Structures are given as C-alpha cells and as structure tokens.
Amino acid sequence: MRAMSYALLAPNPHNRQPWEAELVGDDGLLIYRDKSRNLPFTDPLSRQLTIGMGCFLELMEMAANQEGNSIETELFPQGVDGPVASCRFAKGNGKPNPLFVHVMERRSHKDKFNDRRVTVESAAPLTSHAQLYLDGEDRDTIRRIAHEAWWSEVRTPGAWKESIDLLRVGKSEINANPDGIDAGGPLLDTLALFGLVDRKELLDINNPNSRGPIEDTAKAILSAPAYTLTLTPGNSRIEQIIAGRKWLRLNLTATGAGLSLRPVSQALQEYKEVKVHFDEIHRRFAPNGETIQILGLLGFGERLTRSPRWPIESRIRHA
C-alpha cells in the first residue's frame, strides 16, 4: 500500500488516474486500467492512458525498491484486454534508485517557461532518457508542429469538449473530483462559489474565459527553449508501458537537474483533425516507422503547486 501511495502520484493524461489495484494474497497486486476513465476523443486507442499506467508501475517499483523490496511484474498476464500487470512483492533485492528523491517535487510544468536556454551541459543527465532538441532547425520544427497541433485540437469541438467536461473549477469541484484539469486559485474559487463559471460558455473558444487559457498554452509551447521526443520501435501495449516507464525517469531526472518538463500530446494523437501533424512529425522524426509516444516541452520555470489525486482507498478494486 505504501508503494502504491507513491505510484498514485505518477503523471498521466488529463490526470485521469486510470489505475485500479486488486490485492492478491499477502504479496501480490493485480493492476487494472479503469476503462470508465477513457478519453475516447483524444486518446481513441488508449495509448496515452497506457503510457500513464507505465509511469505508475515504474513509480511503484521505485517506491518498493526504496524500502529494499523488489517487485516482479508480469505485463498483461491475461492478454491486452485484461489487467495491465500482475505484481509480486518480495523482501530484499530492492536497490534504491537515486531518482526517487525527486518524486515529491516532480510536476508537469503547465506554465510558460522563462527565457533561460537549456545548454548541452544542463541537459546532459537527460540524454539517456529521450531524444533532446536544444536548438537548431529540428527544435524549431517540433515547436511549430506542437503549436499548430494545439490550435487544431482547440478548434475541434469534440476534442475541446472532452477537456471542458474534465475541467474542475474551484476548490469544491476539485475536492469532489480530484482529477481532470484543475483550475483553482482564489479568483476561480470565488467565481465558482457564486456560480459564475458557465461550462457552455467555455465551449466557445472565443469566450474570454476559455481564450485566455488557450492562448496561455500556445505561449507555453512557443516559450519552451527545448523539446524532447520519446520513441518506441513499434506501438504495442508493452512498448507503451515501456514509454511510460521512460517518461517517468526522464521527468524525475529533469526535476533533479532543476529543469521543468511538460508533455504536449496533440500532434501525436490519433483522430482525423490532427492527422496532418501526426503524419508530419512522424515523417520527419520517426523515419523508420517508430511511434513517437511523448513530445515534451523542456526548460526552466517556476515550480508549480501539486495536481490533485484521488485517495488510495478509492483506487482499490474489490474482487
């Protein structure tokens, strides 16, 4: 349970926290992906949600290792439609991972980056975890594609509605459903309290209350001084889990190096309105048929507050 309480802090798309665990005997867990938390429009193949499961498994293993325990994991023990993993804990054999000290500081950086460049030296610890683009034409191309894809997503009503449906505005909505896209802070708390946030209005991307955050994300994408790509040779469920494990290590390594990181996924998604961006980024950066699983914005920024999480008891499945 202690290992799992850390795993809950894993990054995951739209903060859906799709994990569920069933306790098996004294030393086992079956880990499921809760399909009621799917993102049917923007993640039609549940590729990103599966990546999030990989982040969860990696973090759980690190937390167990920290206490000297180990986990033996079998992925998809009943095939890809069944549980994601069967995990057996064992005492001993666990070696603490130096990245674990950064777990509580790790964030997905949702804000603008400041204008400090990412030098080769400052990015050096990250090179074994992802492909890095710190300057030059390739970096500029990724920036342009990520920015264009963001606007394509915003202009796609079904995709935009999926985000608005998951918006939690103000403290009481966030506490009632501590997942999705949390928009808190004193101003929003007050507006929400007086019923002044109208979801129908927010569906209109020209409404000032949605236009502001949309433009902030566009600016954040353009402000990133560097970008990362995480690729897998194919696109099997197991490779998606591996990509999640890698992303978690990259995110923790970046945290340890004082860098901020944020996935922006629009160009990698599988719906028709973003296909032109998907095709362009894959043609250019995955020429041998690889799948680009995560595109990251990398730079320096102010550390943000933590995003909310469901309590552990709510994520236990009772057989």
- Alpha-carbon Rg for the chain, nearest whole angstrom, is 19
Q: Applying CB under 6 A, does 299 fall inside the site for ligand FMN?
A: no
* Piece of the chain touching ligand FMN by CB under 6 A; list 19-27, 69-77, 105-113, 140-148: 105-113
Q: Applying CB under 6 A, does 55 fall inside the site for ligand FMN?
A: yes
Q: Applying CB under 6 A, does 236 fall inside the site for ligand FMN?
A: no
Q: Applying CB under 6 A, does 108 fall inside the site for ligand FMN?
A: yes
CB of 27 to ligand FMN, least distance (A): 28
CB of 121 to ligand FMN, least distance (A): 26
Q: Applying CB under 6 A, does 260 fall inside the site for ligand FMN?
A: no
Q: Applying CB under 6 A, does 263 fall inside the site for ligand FMN?
A: yes
Q: Which of 51, 103, 174, 231 is the binder for ligand FMN (CB under 6 A)?
A: 51
Q: Which of 37, 249, 262, 277 is the binder for ligand FMN (CB under 6 A)?
A: 262
Q: Applying CB under 6 A, does 38 fall inside the site for ligand FMN?
A: no
Q: Which of 8, 30, 32, 48 is the binder for ligand FMN (CB under 6 A)?
A: 48
Q: Which of 226, 264, 267, 274 is the binder for ligand FMN (CB under 6 A)?
A: 264
Q: For binding to ligand FMN (CB under 6 A), which residues are involved?
A: 11-15, 48, 51-52, 55, 107-108, 110, 262-265, 294, 307
